[in-house]
Every structure is written in C-alpha cells, then in structure tokens.
Chain A
Amino acid sequence: MQVTLKIFRFNPEKDRKFHYETYTLEAEPTERVLDLLERVKGYHDGTFTFRRSCAHGVCGSDAMRINGRNRLACKTLVQDVGERITIEPLLGLRVIKDLVVDMEPFFENYRKVLPYFINESPLPEDGRERLQSPEERARFDDTTKCILCAACTTSCPSFWASDDYLGPAALVAAHRFIFDSRDEAAAQRLQIVAETSGLARCHTVFNCTMACPREIQITKAIGELKMATITGKLD
C-alpha cells in the first residue's frame, strides 16, 4: 500500500520555526512505523533525525506523537494507524532537532524520587538472597516494566503546564521501590512525592495510562501512592 507520512521538521541550525514535510512511500500493512522512518532517512532525506535502537519496544528511544497520540514508532504497525500518518515530537520537552527532544528535564525528575534500591540492613548471613514471597514480588511487578520512554509524562496536561511536576514516569519509579518489601526508604520517597510538585498535581486524566507502551497501570499506581501518603500504610 501507499503511505503518506507528514513529518514535523525543525533544524535548529537553519530554521527559525518548525514546518511539516510530506513523504509518500510503499509499505506493507504489517511494517513498523519505525521501518518507514528509516526508509525516509535512508532514501529520501538523510537529515531527518530521530532516536531509535531496539526496534521492538523495549528500549524506550522512539516515543513520539503518531497521529496525535504518544506511541513508540517501533511498536506501531502501519495497519494500526492507516495510510496517512502524522509524525511529531513529544510535547512538553524542548525540540532539539526534528523528533529529538531534550530528555534532561525528564531524567531530572526521575532522579528526584530516589529511584534505586535502599536497604542498609545487614545481608543474610549465608550471603544468599534476601527472601521475598511470590506475592510480595507480584505487588510491584507492574511498575518494574518501565522503559523510561517518557510517553506518559509528555501526555500529561499537568506536566505541560509546568515541568517541575514530577510526572507519571517518576511516580512509577517511586512506586516500584515503595512497594518492594525489601526496600527500606518508602517513607522518604512518600515524602518526596507528597510535596507540591508531586502527587497533588495528578488530576487522574488517565492520558498516561493510555500512552504507556508497556501497558503499566500508571493511574492505579499513582492512586496507590496517594492512598499510602494518606494512610501511611503500604498494602
């Protein structure tokens, strides 16, 4: 089939303002949108710029707006979006060039929630693993799936309004550790997410959950964090 791609273009060294370019190419319905972008770059315009690596939805490089919705180009098939496809960068982050946005504010928010395992208690004497039941492990399984693609955070109106809002991805990271039975810093993290730039800014719009390519129940996770800050309990 023939597919028309309308692509957001911005070259900081030449353009004062962004514009759109249109490319028409032959494609199979089962091809990834990323395959098409590669061909545009390979054969039509080498200057067209985007990030990508794994090509199957596990590295988080190629989140972008496809027909207005945040998706991974490598996890979106042509048949999912039709023969007229509009490609734009994520919203709410500065565009560096074409689809490449500045990820630093995103990672900065991530780093604020102590996104690492904290347990200062002595290790088991036999040097082996800390025990954790399958149920305890299942408690935070969903939020371990995050690939830091930023699709959620950049779909959130609260984040567009101000990028000091931690955003869903950082809250997902906080959840992953707060609900891990082995971790000891839940109270500290709950305090961080309860501050003004945290949970209170979430108005349960559900955009994040809809955007997440890993199908993480983000709004649910945020709800659990809200509950934990109110009750002080983790269950």
Chain B
Amino acid sequence: MKVHQFDVVVVGAGGAGLMAGLYASRSAKTAVISKLYPTRSHTGAAQGGIGAALGNMEEDRVEWHTYDTVKGSDYLGDQDAIAFMCEQAPEIVYELEHMGLPFNRTPEGRIAQRPFGGHTNNETGKPVRRACYAADRTGHMILQTLYQQCVKNNVTFFDEFQVIDLILSNGAAAGVVALELATGELHVFHAKAVVFATGGYGRVWEITTNAYANTGDGIAIALRRGIPAEDMEFFQFHPTGIYRMGILITEGVRGEGGVLINDKGERFMDRYAPHVKDLASRDVVSRAMYLEMREGRGIGGKRYLYLDVRPETVNKYAAIDGRTNPDGTPYTVTAEQILAKLPDIIDFCRTYLGVDPVTQPMPVQPTAHYAMGGIPTNIYGEVVIDEKNTVMPGMYAAGECACVSVHGANRLGTNSLLDIVVFGKQAGIRAAEFANGADFQPLPDDALDYTRSQLDGLRHGSGKENAFTIATELKTVMFDHVGVFRTEEGMSQALEKIRELKERFKDVRVSDTGKVFNTELLNAWEVSNLLDIAEVTTACALNRKESRGAHAHEDYPKRDDENWLKHTLVWQRDGKLEIGYKPVTITRFQPKERVY
C-alpha cells in the first residue's frame, strides 16, 4: 500500500474534473485521479455545443436562457442555481476561448452559435441560436483544451487509477482509495478536500450513448458511504440514437434543419410541439417518437424512425416553418454546408450504418443519455447530505455525477457542457479554499478494509454466476421498464429483477487472479455499481406518483405540483433504501404548464 498526501484530490478527468483540477491547483497541492487517460473521458463524445447567451448571431439574453432552463427542467430545477449557471455562461465560454478552444466562427470572427432544443427567444417563442459550437465535436475540443491547459500548468495526474472507496473521518472527507491498474496496487490518497467528478451512468441501459466507463462509480461509492443521491428517477433519453447501437446523433442535426419522419412520411413533431416542432425539449420528442411507434408508425413497423437532414428535406420544411437567416433571408442549406457543419455525424453514419445522411435518412431510436440526478450539491460544489442541505466538510462534486440541481427533471441540450465547466470551476476553487483553511483529518486505521472486502468478494464468490450475464440482464430490464415510459407494474417487476440480480451477483467470481491490468475485476466491480444505481433509480421512480420531465409515469400521466414539486433524496442504509424529499428553490418563475 502506498499513501499520498494532497490538499485536494479530484476524482475524474472529464470536463468537470479537469476544470476543478485546473482551478484547485492554482492555490493548493492537487492531484487528479482518473481510471481513464483524461482525454478518453466521455466529455470528448459531446457533439452539439455549449449554451451561453452571447447573442453573436441574433438577440439573446441571460434571462431567456434562465427561463428556458427552468421550463426545460419541468420546474424541478433550483432557480437560484440555474440563474447562477446562466449568468456565468458567457464569461466561461469566453474563458474557454481564451484558453485556445477552437470554436467555429461567424463572418465577423466571433464564436458561432446554432439553435438547440428548448432554447428560445422568449418574446417570439422561436428557436434562438445559443449553442456555441466547434463543428460537431464541441466536447472533444473542450476536453482537449482543458487537458492541454493542465499540461501547461503542470497539474499532477494519476492516470489509470480507479477509485474504489471514499475515506471519511469525523464526518468529513479525508481521502480516497484507488487501485493502480498497471500494478494492481492499492493507494491511499489522504486529502483535506475531495472532489468527485466521475461522470454519468448511462451503461445501466441497453441502448445508450454512454461509454463503457460510464458506470456511475462516484455515486455508488458515495451511497455506500452514507451520502444520499438526488433525483435519480430522472434520466434523459435522447431522441436520436443510431438504431440498435445507441450512438448519438446530435440535436444539432435538427438545429441545422433536420426533421423526424415516420413510416407514412409525415413530419410528426408538428402535432406534438406546434411552435418549435423538432426542436422541442428531449423528453417531449422521445415520448412523441414512442407514441408514433406504438401507433405502428415506426419505419416498416419496427422500433425506429427516420431523421432526415437531406438538403431538399431541410429546405422544404424550413420554408414551411418560415425559418430565416440572421439577415432575414429564407434559410436554405446545401449538401456542402451539411458536410461542413456535421462531419463526425456523417462519418458515424457512413461507418456504422453504411448510410450517407446527405442522400439518405438516418434510422434512429431514443437512447439512454444523461443523468439529471446525482450527488446533491449547492452552487459551490459542496456536497449536501440531508433535507436541510447540511454541508459535508471537505466533500465536493461536480459534473454529471452531481445534482445541483440545474437540470431538474429534464436537461436542455448544451447545458451539461456548461454545467461541467461552471461547477467544475466552483468546486475546484472552493475545495482549494477549504483545504487552505483546514487540517488533515486523521486517516482511520481500517482505511483499506472496505475496498479489500469488496474486491475479495469478487475474487472468492462461488463462481456460479457471470458478471457479464448479470449486466446484460440488468440493461435489458431497465431499458424495457425504466425507460421513456414507465408503469407501476413494469417498475415493480424491474425492481424485483434487480434485487434478484443483486443476490445472484454474490456468486460471481472473476477468473483473472493477477494484479496487472485486472480489468475483469474492475469491470465486475463496476457491475456492482450499475446494480446499486439501477436499484435506487427504480425505487425512486416507483415512488414518484406523477409525470414530470423525463419521468413519464403512465399510471399518473400528469404533473402534480401540489404533491410532487420536490426533490427526491435516497440513502442506502444497511443495505436498505430510505427515501426522503426536499423542497425546490423557486425564485422568479412560478410553475405553469409546459408547451413547446
């Protein structure tokens, strides 16, 4: 065992972790620990853009961004946090540009912006160009730029170290335990402040846009250590994943004028969202697609629809919608422009589907995408552990693993990249400040015990069960019953199944007994995280007897503000789940019906 001491330890090196690391390291001795090389983090997969009311292409205002986000959240987002994020947005986008991020440019040389679902001009109700983008690889550029800045500033990295446990001492964060992949050795990182930035958990579902690494480790570890998780029933299904593979086709495709088409050749979104149509927010579009397929209007009766971005289609519907360019002329596109703005999407379709989007429509289906819920924090990234928002000293979280909550029941596109940089920065600054005014908590003598017992369990099970099989069964049941639409019966079945899988998981034994790069062991441990996360997700979903944002409960199809305008909190106590609630912060915008 090796012991390291740092003022601040950041776990995760995606957008949130790198931003936290960059800021914390300015004033405190900081380590960034990541199970992947930083540039492999899933932030690099983000395509469409980062939201900020820069107004580079047309009038836009921070207040509109704020209101759109509140509305998008189906009023479950905390309005003080949302206002803070949207106010910070222009400044932080400029900061990224100053770090060298290569945004696309307007003819005037400013950062280019495109429309995205749910982002509107609040006066006209029309889509507004708010998503700052770098082709269709905005996340890649953010991740690369932040990593480059970390290299420039000599940030200390522990690459391919997987954190297994959080060390708490006297009710405060005291460090983490990590396994070094290359050697199999356990390391204790003794720290005054810990920042979790471990990303999402989309691997709980069968069809997903998420990477293999997105197994919710941070949230699962926190739950095991008595920290609650917030709003776990709200998980976003993105409308347009490549059929059967789940690979994301960015909403930017619809931003550029692409439309969804059913088996009858109809552009059906005008029936579900008459104002913004294909650019309604994601929960609305995914549900519309399910309803179309349920009515038998999937392509060839199957479980997919077409996303059509062929220039002739785009131009036809742009004319019908009366869409115009910033200078007032009618909006039209050419094949070359599509190619220039969506090069990676075109590449994905050619590679995985053998389809050329400029001449053929793309087969798409809703795909698991984004966790609105996570480790509860306030706007400073401080982890709060109860209904009264009591801060746990020294413990921070940011990015997709955290729940501030700025996304409430449904996130708007472009708001996660914004979230990770805004709150990654806050968490980094605050963690360093805290560390500079605090002493190390003593390390408990048994700091390694819990890690050892978890890993030993996986090494010494009976071997009757296979972790891979269990994960596959879990993903199927979650996709079928805890997906876009949910019913009491389906979710109860799912919960039963998850508990059965958890039992069976005890009989897993990994065959690799080695120390060096034992990914079988770590993958199996990740399956235990998926199981825990699926259980809390389903239990919280079953408890919420209303429909709101991404949680569409068919037995309770209406939003119920009287009883359910509140955040869910869930604790894992002695293997049992306890569910509680806390109020939503409402400042300027009183809940009203959501129409797009």
**A interface list, Cβ under 8 A from B:** 11-14, 30, 32, 41-43, 45-47, 49-61, 75, 77, 96-98, 100, 103, 107, 111, 114-119, 123, 127-134, 136-137, 140-141, 144-148, 177, 180, 182-183, 215
- Quick check: A123 and B514 within 8 Å, CB to CB? no
- Quick check: B211 and A129 within 8 Å, CB to CB? no
Interface residues of B in 235-271 (CB under 8 A from A): 245, 247
Name the A residues within 8 Å of B41 (CB-CB). Answer: 59
A97 to B94, CA, bound (A): 43
B149 within 8 A of A: yes
Which partner residue on chain A sits nearest B214 by CB separation?
A53
- Quick check: B37 and A56 within 8 Å, CB to CB? no
- Quick check: A130 and B107 within 8 Å, CB to CB? no
- Quick check: A137 and B468 within 8 Å, CB to CB? no
Cβ contacts A to B, 12 pairs, < 8 Å: A45-B511, A46-B511, A50-B519, A54-B42, A54-B44, A96-B517, A114-B152, A116-B148, A130-B97, A137-B103, A144-B134, A147-B44
- Quick check: A54 and B111 within 8 Å, CB to CB? no
Name the A residues within 8 Å of B514 (CB-CB). Answer: 11, 13-14, 47, 97
- Quick check: A127 and B94 within 8 Å, CB to CB? yes
**B interface list, Cβ under 8 A from A:** 36-37, 39-42, 44-45, 91, 94, 97-100, 102-111, 134-135, 137, 140-141, 144-145, 148-149, 151-152, 182, 211-213, 245, 247, 344, 347-348, 351-352, 354, 466, 468-469, 510-512, 514-520, 523
Name the B residues within 8 Å of A182 (CB-CB). Answer: 100
A194 to B245, CA, bound (A): 45
Name the A residues within 8 Å of B347 (CB-CB). Answer: 57, 215
Known pairs A52-B212, A140-B102, A144-B141; A129 contacts B40 (CB<8 A): no
**Cβ-closest 10 pairs across A and B:** A117-B100, A42-B468, A131-B109, A116-B148, A116-B152, A46-B520, A47-B512, A46-B511, A59-B40, A53-B211
Known contacts A13-B515, A141-B102, A180-B100, then 8 further A-B pairs from the complex at CB < 8 Å, ordered by chain A residue:
A42-B466, A45-B511, A54-B40, A116-B100, A129-B103, A130-B97, A144-B141, A183-B100
- Quick check: B519 and A56 within 8 Å, CB to CB? no
- Quick check: A147 and B140 within 8 Å, CB to CB? yes
Which partner residue on chain A sits nearest B46 by CB separation?
A58
- Quick check: B39 and A46 within 8 Å, CB to CB? no
- Quick check: A61 and B105 within 8 Å, CB to CB? no
Name the B residues within 8 Å of A147 (CB-CB). Answer: 39, 44, 140
A61 to B348, CA, bound (A): 17
Q: Output the least CB separation between A172 and chain B (Å).
A: 12
A58 to B110, CA, bound (A): 27
Which partner residue on chain A sits nearest B511 by CB separation?
A46
Name the B residues within 8 Å of A55 (CB-CB). Answer: 211-212, 247
- Quick check: A53 and B213 within 8 Å, CB to CB? yes
Name the B residues within 8 Å of A60 (CB-CB). Answer: 39-40
A41 to B471, CA, bound (A): 13
A13 to B40, CA, bound (A): 27
Name the A residues within 8 Å of B245 (CB-CB). Answer: 56
- Quick check: B110 and A59 within 8 Å, CB to CB? no
- Quick check: A117 and B145 within 8 Å, CB to CB? yes
A98 to B291, CA, bound (A): 47
Known pairs A53-B211, A57-B351, A144-B102; A116 contacts B151 (CB<8 A): yes
Which partner residue on chain A sits nearest B106 by CB separation?
A134
Known pairs A46-B511, A53-B36, A130-B97; A77 contacts B466 (CB<8 A): no
Which partner residue on chain A sits nearest B514 by CB separation?
A13
Q: Output the least CB separation between A234 and chain B (Å).
A: 16
Q: Output the least CB separation between A9 and chain B (Å).
A: 12
Name the A residues within 8 Å of B151 (CB-CB). Answer: 111, 115-116
